[in-house]
Amino acid sequence: MRILIQRFDGLIRRLNGIFEFCDEEACIFRLQWKRAPHGNHLSDGTAVRRGEPVLYLHVWNEHVPPMPPGGPDLPWAVDIRRRLLFTLRRLASWIREGSHGERVRALVGVSALLASAEDSGGARLLKRLGFDVFPHRGPLGRFGEFWENLYAWVLMWAFNPISARRHPPHRLRRTEVWMSIRTLLERYG
């Protein structure tokens, strides 16, 4: 069943134009060209208007290290942080080399694993890395969020089963992370 879900996810990625900008194992994001679902003002002063081109970040499930049986621990968290830094540096190089910074002004990601509360460890880490963290505003409201969360949970079950046990689908809440291209290039370029 897990293999079937992984293949279905691959088909969905291809149909949605999600691509790999880096082929190294430490890279934990794939990308997708999209339009901003709504406007947003970022902490560095960048204003993104609804419909503007943005790069969506998608977790590369196969490259996320498996969560230890007891849940996330310090070595696992250090490895995730190292992979995030590596990925952001590679992404900054890819954007600079391809002049993609002229096409988009922001990166956007949506996660069901990250609590948006100020005191959550994941939110603090991403803010230190330069992301702005917001509650997710899905176009279909709670109805759409339920189906997105269910799909996210099925992917967790297929790629990282321990994570799925720790995050039941009915308790997932979606969070948006945004970073301007300017901040990405200043910090990681």
Position 117 pLDDT exceeds 70: no
pLDDT of 174 > 90? The answer is: no
Residue 82 has pLDDT above 90, yes or no: yes
Pick the more confident residue, 113 or 81.
81
What domains can be seen in the chain, in order of their start residue? 2-188 (3.40.630)
pTM for the whole structure? 0.85
Residues whose CB falls within 8 Å of the CB of residue 95, separated by 6 or more in sequence, listed in order: 101, 181, 184, 185, 189
AA identity, residue 65:
P
Predicted confidence band of residue 38 (pLDDT cuts 50, 70, 90)? very high
Query: Among 42-46, 63-67, 87-91, 150-154, whose mean pLDDT is lowest?
Result: 150-154
- Which backbone phi and psi does 151 adopt, to 5 degrees? -65, -45
Question: Could you tell me the two tokens for 97?
Answer: 């080399």
Q: Which letter does DSSP use for residue 105 in this model?
A: S
* Contact by Cβ (8 Å): 31, 107: no
d(CA 135, CA 116): 6
Q: Which residue has the tokens 């992984």?
A: 6
- Summarize the confidence of residues 57-86 as an average pLDDT: 90
Hey, which residues does 175 pair with through a beta bridge?
111, 135
Instruction: Write down the mean pLDDT value for the chain.
Output: 86
Can you list the alpha helix ranges (DSSP code H) found in 98-140?
121-128
- What pLDDT shows up at residue 48? 96
- The average pLDDT across 122-146 equals 81
Instruction: Report the first-to-last Cα separation within the chain, whole angstroms.
Output: 41
Task: Over range 79-83, report the average pLDDT.
Answer: 93
Residues 44 and 180 sit within 8 Å (Cβ to Cβ): yes
Q: How many residues are listed for the chain in this entry?
A: 189
Identify the three-state secondary structure at position 48: strand
What is the torsional sign of CA 79, 119, 145, 19? negative
Per DSSP, 69 falls in state T
